Amino acid sequence: MSDIRQLLLAAFEVEHREHLEAIRAALAAAGAGRLPDWNDVFRRAHSLKGAARAVDLPEIESLAHRLEALFERVRSGAPLGRQGTNATHLALDRIEAYVAGLAEAPPAPMPADALAALDACLAAPPESAEGETPDMSGDAGPDPAGAAPLEEPAAPEQALAEAPREGPPEPAQGMLRVPAEAVEAMARASHDLVGSLGAGAPVADGLGRLARQAAELRAQAAALAATLAPALSADPAARASLRAVETALSGLAREAAETARRHAAAGGALEGAAARVRAEAERLALVAAETVLGPLARSLRETARAQGREVDVTVTGLDVPVDRATLQALKDPVLHALRNALSHGHEPPTRRAAAGKPPALAIGLDVAVRGGRLHVAVSDDGPGPNLAAIAERARARGLLGADEAAGPETLLGLVFEPGFSTAAAVDTLSGRGFGLSVAADAARALQGSVRLEAGEPWGSRLVMSLPLAAARRSLLLVEAGGGTYALPGAAVERLLRVDRAALSQAMGRTLLRLAGPDGAEASLPVVGLAEVLGLPPAAPSPRLAAVLLRAAGRRFALAVERLDDVRTLLVLPLPAVGAAPDLVVGTAVLAGERPVLVLDPEGLAARAEGAGALHSAETEPAGGTTAEARRSTLRATILVVDDSITTRTLEKGILEAAGYRVVVCVDGQDALERLRAEIEPVDLVLADVEMPRLDGFGLLQALRADDRFRRLPTVLMTSRGDPEDVARGLELGADAYLTKQAFDQRGLLDTIGRLL
């Protein structure tokens, strides 16, 4: 295949998807009773035809030409009808599948059913919206056989020459196919690169220290020469030697200062370049949900056709950028959920008509970011969950006692048990009871949750709620308890500054009177972020800074010490060493490797329910604030050593929130060099075991062999929890050995507190 054709096909793959999604969105709007822009739909079909001609795909060109003729009828006033809608969906699915198969050699042939379905629609007499046959005598009208005249496909050379007129945009920039694994590896490497640049800090500090020492030695030599001047006057050789030493020291000081300057300039340039590389790598690592979840709608329609069922599939939110690995993990569970909706949502046409439902089963797939979490929902307008059948099946399997009563929420939670099914028989869609358990397992593996809801008045909705994986989000940075935290911008309704005197107390809680969106005033609870996080609050000030949050169907004011900034940052998933997963949804890294924890507004809302009155001056302990007292006793310096930027970020955030000063290193060798350079006094080392260059065991062994660090408290924390690994760490002199699988934030802080 020629390079120009490869470029054209790559451009066509992007363009055809845009046209198909626009046409599907118009069909969904028409099905919901809204009036689509049929002129735009007609133009989409026309552009798709021209683009297919440009890359010599006559099969797609023929289908697009029939679609163009069909939409010409519709924009002239004829209704599309159920037959036309089904034929259009079939044609779009066939086009999508055909383009996806072009990478195969040879590509699979285009099935003839879509062309036949469109021809059947065009052969039928067109009915106008008022029941009259419109005038279709224009050039775009159908021929006597019912299909608009189709031009002979142009030769490939002619099509390429005509591409600028009717085909896709000229692919001047070019497009490349890159394996997903390569993109993910580049994203990880870029994070490691930025983290590794911190290893140059000891070199810069050392150069600066060398320049200062050389300058001090030169000054001492000059003072010594002045003191010994009378004696040196009688000894020219000694005087010349001392002058040579002064000159050498002066040159050394200048050279060291210049080297330090050049190193700082080069380091700044490297950090800037690394930051740009990381930003671009992060952008490539995020893909629209449509790239993985988009084809599932076509797969579901194919399954429905094979079952002889009518279905309308609506997808929304597929433009949301999501981490590629998360999308791949969601692909099978979402497909299972869609097939489950198709199976359990099926009803006889007479029953649907009696309930006032449209003939086709409506299934929706929605992807959205709400309250700092990724929500993937599959809904249907079928009969909804049969709670009686679920209870009967649960008792038969021993999940419920014979006389045990269970509420709807409990019963709906049982459907995620492996092998649980209320289907009367096993077929190709359901009956084995593993579809929803797959969704539940996937949600748990991604540190999320899944729930099944009964619709009102009918239908069902399955929702997977997942913590944000690596994705760029708008975050509001706030300060509380002496640390910086991030709140997802989507949950922030307003920023507030109010007088404490305007707050009221009721039933042990602090309340704020505030006008709602409808203009009506409401009393909203006010909770302090420091109190919610279990941190000591700062001294209260007359003016209160707060964030009005909306989460879990509630509005409340979150009091903070300071409103910092709004930034778009990469939100990284929590590592295995996570704490309070109901409260923290991820981590973000600010400039200078400064970590922040991204808080979950829904978790804050849940904790706010049990929070008491806001901290005030009356509750201030004698002798200063609790925060000041705590900072005065917990300013020990801890060196965190871990090659994972996410783990370093979380550990640093936990320790800084507890009042410690934290410095980080990217591996054992980096930590050993920093300690030997004596840049700052270190009171404790918290190190991973598995690291490049020098692992945790090697670092511990080197520290215990050095008299300066023989008694330096060292804690190893790793995923290697085998008894022999624990024994080896303790034999080498570790003061504590913690495993990430059994990690507990309070346990870590208690261990460090005992050692210090």
Q: How far is CA 584 from CA 76, 598, 642, 645, in A?
A: 55, 6, 21, 17
DSSP SS3 for 513: strand
Contacts (Cβ under 8 Å, ≥6 apart) of 286: 321, 322, 323, 324, 470, 471, 472
Classify residue 348 as left (phi > 0), alpha (psi -120 to 50) or beta. Answer: beta
What pLDDT score does 616 carry?
A: 54
Q: What pLDDT, on the 0 to 100 scale, is given for residue 178?
A: 63
pLDDT score, position 282: 66
Residues 6+ apart with CB under 8 A from 601: 371, 372, 487, 488, 491, 549, 550, 551, 552
Spatial distance between the Cα atoms of 755 and 561, rounded to a whole number of angstroms: 31
Residue reference for tokens 């007129």: 165
Q: Which of 247, 243, 248 is nearest to 225 (CA)?
A: 243
Query: What confidence score (pLDDT) does residue 132 get?
Result: 41
> Which token pair is 237?
């050789």
φ/ψ of 269, rounded to 5, equals: -65, -40
Angle between helices 38-54 and 156-166 (to 10 degrees): 150
Q: What is the mean pLDDT of each run of 10 residues along the chain (756 residues)?
A: 63 81 86 83 86 83 90 87 89 88 77 90 66 38 38 37 36 52 68 61 71 80 78 77 82 82 77 73 75 84 85 88 79 86 87 88 89 84 86 81 78 78 54 64 76 85 77 81 84 84 75 68 82 75 84 81 82 58 74 75 78 52 41 69 76 79 89 89 90 88 91 84 77 83 70 85
Q: Are 214 and 259 a contacting pair, CB within 8 Å?
A: no
Q: Are 713 and 756 in contact (CB under 8 A)?
A: yes
CB atoms within 10 A of CB 273: 12
Helix (H, G, I), strand (E, B) or coil at 552: coil
User: What is this structure's pTM?
Assistant: 0.47
Integer CA distances (angstroms), 82 to 86, 310, 358, in order = 6, 10, 11
Q: Enumerate the H helices of 76-176 as residue ranges.
A: 81-100, 113-123, 156-166
Beta bridge partners of 361: 311
State the pLDDT at residue 470.
Answer: 52
Distance CA 706, CA 676 (A): 9
- Tell how far CA 243 is from the center of its chain: 65
Q: Are 608 and 525 in contact (CB under 8 A)?
A: yes
CA distance 489 to 477: 9
Counting Cα atoms < 13 Å in the Cβ hemisphere of 84 gives: 24
Check residue 621 and give its pLDDT: 41
Tell me the two tokens of residue 495: 């920023």
User: Is the CB of residue 704 less than 8 Å from the CB of residue 731?
Assistant: no
